[in-house]
Amino acid sequence: MHIDWHGLVVVCVVSLALVTLLVVVFSLGIVALARSQGPRMNGTGRSSAVQPLARATAFLCFALCAALGGYGIHLIVSHSP
Amino acid sequence: MDGVSLLLVAVIVTALAFDFTNGFHDTANSMATSIATGALAPRVAVVIAGVLNLAGAFLSTTVAKTISGGIVNDTKVSLTMIFAGLLGAILWNMLTWLAGLPSSSSHALFGGLIGAVWVGAGTSAVRFGQVVEKIVLPAVISPAVACVAALLATYLAYVITRRAPRGSVNRAYRTGQIGSASLVALAHGTNDAQKTMGVITLALISAGVLGQGADPPWWVILSAGLAISLGTYAGGWRIIRTMGKGLTDIESPQGFTAETTATTVILTSSHMGFPLSTTQVCAGGILGAGLGRKLAEIRWGIAGRIAVSWVLTLPAAAAVGGTSAWLAGHGTAGLVLAAGGALAAVGGMYALSRRHPVDAKNVNEVPGEAQQDQTDDLMA
């Protein structure tokens, strides 16, 4: 019996890191999106300057998640047992 | 038709039947949380899962070269043993479905084969070291990793979005969840339909219909893909209810983190060559998502029953597989008896399920409350 402990640890760490990354980025995207839509988030005149920045952040976050999802599809298609 | 070809037909039919049970047993993996959070209507969810499973079946480019992945000595596996092993797997899948328990279909198949080979070819044909390495160890580690990852992710998701308006936050998580749940369904079609294709192809090879190392014929790919896809579409509503509503009450952010965790753990480990059970990863993810939200209630009784079913899967399927192999070893009459017994048991369990049916309409009711609703209806 040969157990690849090193490989197992790598799988665990990589999974944990990727899940955290994905969920954090997606959540930040949601917050940014809400900020870009909410016109009076801070109640000052700054909102007009904040909005395009927030929209760009949201776009970047969702694009990163979509890219990771796309890489997932790539893994599924090219997967061989 | 002579004895061998009759047996071959029996193996192919049983393999497709197993594929079908595999489909409806595992609909919950991809769609239970999406149905529970309302990201997808129940009927729409099973259609998407069914179509993606079919697509996944055709995407797979390589079919498993061995039936068991080295868990049993493949040179000693006969058609009769494959048949008996499949019966064991089907019966355990039916029984756990009746109880609404998400147990692993792959483990049921391995268990059935182990039992059948043990009885048919002796203890030496079962590689117990491989059983520990490829089944027991991943069964302990993968749900734990999924649970921890989902717990952390869910906690962070709630912390990060706590100041944003709830309505738009939930909408966004539900949209994201559809994406990650679809990936789970696609990966499931690739992995699990492939197993059935492998079983049928190897049966055809050992019967001499196909040459050594042949690729599966088109009709094998098509029928295996259709069987798992139709099974998925049929929807194992009992298991969907346990996963979506029974274990814990899933909110939109939790549905997203649970499915994202499942997708990531499954793809990471299969990319690195570690076998694991999709079902166990998904259940671990849902449990973690429940623990990660403050004040979320986990129904530990249900979690405990799920854990017990996981421990029992391998020995129970092995016991049925072994009994079937012993029966089928006594010539055609025994074979017919084993098949007839299995058919009667499946029919009986289906009849039992009709007494308290769970379907697309009542899938989102928490077990227990459902009966209360029925009483209310009667009173009104």
Collapse the DSSP code of B279 into the 3-class scheme (helix H, G, I; strand E, B; otherwise coil) and give the result.
helix
pLDDT value at position B104? 93
Q: Which of B109, B86, B90, B106 is nearest to B98 (CA)?
A: B90
The distance of A11 to chain B (nearest Cα, Å) reads: 6
Of A15, A20, A77, the CB nearest to B268: A15
A23 interfaces chain B, CB cutoff of 8 Å: yes
Inter-chain CB proximity A16 and B260 less than 8 Å: no
Quote the CA–CA distance of B59 and A76 in Å, as a whole number: 8
* Whole-Å CA distances, B23 to A58, B29, B225, B234: 37, 10, 10, 8
pLDDT value at position B379? 45
A23: nearest CA partner in chain B: B153
B21 interfaces chain A, CB cutoff of 8 Å: no
The distance of B330 to chain A (nearest Cα, Å) reads: 35
Contact list, A18 vs chain B (CB under 8 Å)? 264, 268
Q: How confident is the model at residue A41 (pLDDT cuts 50, 70, 90)?
A: very low
pLDDT value at position B187? 86
Count the neighbouring beta carbons within 10 Å of the beta carbon of residue B9: 12
Lowest average pLDDT, out of B68-77, B122-131, B167-176, B256-265, goes to B68-77
pLDDT value at position A16? 94
Inter-chain CB proximity A77 and B153 less than 8 Å: no
Inter-chain CB proximity A24 and B150 less than 8 Å: no
Contact list, A79 vs chain B (CB under 8 Å)? 60, 190-191, 270-271
A10 interfaces chain B, CB cutoff of 8 Å: yes
Instruction: Check residue B229 and report its DSSP letter.
Output: H
Contact list, A3 vs chain B (CB under 8 Å)? 133, 137
Is the pLDDT score of B63 beyond 50? Answer: yes
A63 interfaces chain B, CB cutoff of 8 Å: no
A42 interfaces chain B, CB cutoff of 8 Å: no
Question: Which strand (E) or helix (H) includes residue B368?
Answer: none
Inter-chain CB proximity A27 and B132 less than 8 Å: no
Question: Which strand (E) or helix (H) includes residue B338?
Answer: helix B331-353
CA B56 to chain CA mean position, Å: 15
Query: What average pLDDT does range B167-192 have in this prediction?
Result: 90
pLDDT value at position B36? 93
Quote the CA–CA distance of B204 and B316 in Å, as a whole number: 28
pLDDT digits (tens, 9 = 90+) for B162-171: 988 888 899 9
> Which residue type, as a one-letter code, is found at position B281?
V
Q: How confident is the model at residue B74 (pLDDT cuts 50, 70, 90)?
A: confident
**DSSP assignment of B58-111:** HH-----SSSSTTSB-GGG--HHHHHHHHHHHHHHHHHHHHTT----HHHHHHH
Lowest average pLDDT, out of A50-54, B135-139, B337-341, goes to A50-54
The distance of B161 to chain A (nearest Cα, Å) reads: 6
The pLDDT > 70 percentage for chain B reads 93
Query: What average pLDDT does range B229-253 have in this prediction?
Result: 91
Q: Which phi and psi (to 5°) does residue B335 adopt?
A: -60, -45
The mean of the pLDDT values for chain B is 88
pLDDT value at position B1? 46
Inter-chain CB proximity B152 and A7 less than 8 Å: no
- Residue B377 buriedness (CB in 10 A; 0-12 / 13-18 / 19+): exposed
Inter-chain CB proximity A76 and B267 less than 8 Å: yes
Size of interface A-B (CB pairs under 8 A): 132
pLDDT value at position B61? 56
Ordered alpha helix ranges (H), B101-248 = 105-121, 128-131, 137-160, 166-206, 218-234, 237-241
B137 interfaces chain A, CB cutoff of 8 Å: yes
Q: Which phi and psi (to 5°) does residue B33 adopt?
A: -70, -35
Is the pLDDT score of B346 beyond 60? Answer: yes
pLDDT value at position B377? 44
Which tokens go with A74? 């790539």
The answer to whether B255 and B296 have CB atoms below 8 angstroms apart is no
Q: How is chain A split into domains, by residue range?
A: 5-78
Chain B interface mutation, best of A5, A10, A12, A15, highest count of B Cβ atoms under 10 Å: A15
Contact list, A59 vs chain B (CB under 8 Å)? none
The answer to whether B113 and B77 have CB atoms below 8 angstroms apart is yes
Q: Which of A79, A70, A65, A76 is nearest to A24 (CA)?
A: A65
Is the pLDDT score of B323 beyond 90? Answer: yes
Of A14, A27, A37, the CB nearest to B268: A14
pLDDT value at position B172? 92
Collapse the DSSP code of B254 into the 3-class scheme (helix H, G, I; strand E, B; otherwise coil) and give the result.
helix
Lowest average pLDDT, out of A64-73, B329-338, B369-378, goes to B369-378
Is the pLDDT score of B143 beyond 80? Answer: yes
A59 interfaces chain B, CB cutoff of 8 Å: no
Q: Which of B227, B242, B218 is nearest to B189 (CA)?
A: B227
Contact list, A28 vs chain B (CB under 8 Å)? 160
Is the pLDDT score of B42 beyond 90? Answer: yes
Quote the CA–CA distance of A69 and B298 in Å, as a whole number: 29
Cα within 13 Å of Cα(B173), Cβ side: 33
Q: Which of B296, B294, B366, B377 is nearest to B36 (CA)?
A: B366
Cα Rg for chain A, rounded, in angstroms? 19
Quote the CA–CA distance of B45 and B90 in Å, as a whole number: 24
pLDDT value at position B374? 41
Quote the CA–CA distance of A20 and A39 in Å, as a whole number: 30
Of A7, A27, A73, the CB nearest to B183: A73
Cα dihedral B204, B205, B207, B208 sign: positive
Of B62, B130, B257, the CB nearest to A80: B62
Q: How confident is the model at residue B110 (pLDDT cuts 50, 70, 90)?
A: very high
The distance of A54 to chain B (nearest Cα, Å) reads: 13
ipTM, 2 dp? 0.86
Which tokens go with A41? 């988030």
Is the pLDDT score of B336 beyond 70? Answer: yes
A27: nearest CA partner in chain B: B157
pLDDT value at position B271? 83
b/e burial code for range A45-75 (CB count within 10 A of at least 16 → b) = eebeebbeebeebbeebbebbeebbeebeeb
| Residues 198-257 in B contacting A (C-alpha not used; CB under 8 Å) | 253, 256-257
Is the pLDDT score of B369 beyond 80? Answer: no
Inter-chain CB proximity B161 and A27 less than 8 Å: yes
pLDDT digits (tens, 9 = 90+) for B260-306: 999 999 999 888 878 788 999 999 999 999 999 977 788 999 999 99
b/e burial code for range B309-322 (CB count within 10 A of at least 16 → b) = bbebbbebbbbbbb
pLDDT value at position B371? 43
Which tokens go with A59? 């776009």
Is the pLDDT score of B76 beyond 70? Answer: yes
Is the pLDDT score of A46 beyond 60? Answer: no
Quote the CA–CA distance of B103 and B308 in Å, as a whole number: 10
Lowest average pLDDT, out of B142-146, B271-275, B306-310, goes to B271-275
